């Protein structure tokens, strides 16, 4: 099969990656949040779990919007096709790098705004690494669903 003659779904990828990328990352992180749920309320755990799932998915959509858009654009620029381990690894790296680039852009805006950096800690870098890993995994899932196969 000649891949150069196939139409690459540019618009589909650029639209679906930002719409679903953060939510997929949120779904992937749900076990972590649910496992660490230690809230004891009179309403019971079911309501708390439902609220937690809803909040995690909304938060992950908003936070993941820009990195997922960057990942979608990079997938289109490099015309990634999936089908073997190497192609999925490329999708993972693109998602990972997109999160890191978005984070660096946010840091740059923070520095340019004159914010105080005295409260900066290594814990924030670990959190960024966690988000970057989720971004990579999310990119692999979305590539499996929406990117053309070899």
Q: Is 71 contained in some domain?
A: yes
Domain count within the chain? 1
Q: Is 41 contained in some domain?
A: yes
CB neighbours of residue 65 within 10 Å: 17
Stated pTM of the model: 0.85
Range of the structural domain that residue 87 is part of: 6-146
Q: Is 1 contained in some domain?
A: no
Q: What is the pLDDT along the chain (150 residues), one digit of tens a residue?
A: 445 546 899 999 999 999 999 999 999 998 887 777 665 555 566 667 788 889 999 999 999 999 999 999 999 999 999 999 999 999 999 999 999 999 989 888 887 888 776 666 667 788 889 999 999 999 999 999 999 998
Q: Report how far residue 144's alpha carbon sits from residue 110's, in angstroms, rounded to the nearest whole number.
A: 35
Q: Is 137 contained in some domain?
A: yes
Write the CA distances from 61 to 18, 87, 112, 121, integer angstroms: 8, 25, 26, 25
């Amino acid at each position: 099969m000649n891949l150069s003659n196939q139409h690459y779904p540019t618009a589909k990828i650029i639209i679906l990656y930002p719409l679903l990328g953060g939510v997929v990352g949120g779904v992937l992180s749900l076990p972590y949040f649910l496992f660490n749920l230690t809230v004891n309320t009179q309403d019971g755990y079911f309501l708390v779990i439902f609220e937690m799932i809803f909040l995690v998915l909304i938060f992950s959509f908003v936070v993941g919007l820009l990195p997922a858009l960057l990942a979608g654009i990079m997938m289109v620029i490099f015309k990634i096709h999936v089908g073997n381990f190497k192609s999925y690894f490329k999708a993972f790296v693109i998602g990972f790098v997109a999160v890191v680039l978005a984070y660096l852009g946010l840091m740059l805006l923070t520095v340019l705004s004159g914010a105080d950096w005295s409260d900066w800690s290594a814990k924030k870098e670990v959190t960024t690494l966690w988000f970057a890993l989720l971004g990579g995994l999310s990119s692999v899932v979305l590539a499996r669903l929406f990117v053309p196969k070899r």
